[in-house]
Amino acid sequence: MPKSTTIYWNPLSPEQVGQWQPIPGLENMVEELTLSEDPDSGEYTRLTRFYPGADTTAFGSKSHPYPEEVLIVSGRLYDYAFDLWLESGHYASRPPGELHGPFKTDIGCVVLEISFPNRR
């Protein structure tokens, strides 16, 4: 089955605030909004929003056994694993197993993630 499709809409508009879901364990710091997904392959595209002042240091770095792509849509995010402030427009294509995070932001940040859980 292919990824889900939808007509044009603006997930960043104030009218969509109720569509965002808190990420378990990161409530009041980070939330997500799935834009499309393929239930067969597990592939998904989502937005992750970090609130101003969010800091995931207590949760440490993470990695996963599949590739993903990330694009900083707005704001800025510090990635401790790379000792780098990621600004709007920064992009990465992460290979499986790449260590990233923890993260912090001063002004908030929106990240576009495209993940491929069944690809190794």
pLDDT of residue 102: 98
For residue 51, the domain's CATH number is 2.60.120.10
Full residue range of the structural domain in which residue 74 is found: 46-120
In a domain, 21, yes or no: no
pTM for the whole thing? 0.92
Per the CB < 8 A criterion, the answer to whether 105 and 74 are in contact is no
In a domain, 13, yes or no: no
Residues 60-87 have pLDDT tens digits of 999 999 999 999 999 999 999 999 999 9
How many structural domains comprise the chain? 1
In a domain, 87, yes or no: yes
pLDDT of residue 1: 63
Model confidence at 40: pLDDT above 70: yes
In a domain, 5, yes or no: no
In a domain, 14, yes or no: no
In a domain, 36, yes or no: no
pLDDT of residue 24: 93
**Which DSSP string corresponds to 58-71?**
GG--B--SS-EEEE
Residues 2-21 have pLDDT tens digits of 788 888 989 999 999 899 99
Quote the tokens at residue 47: 């937005």
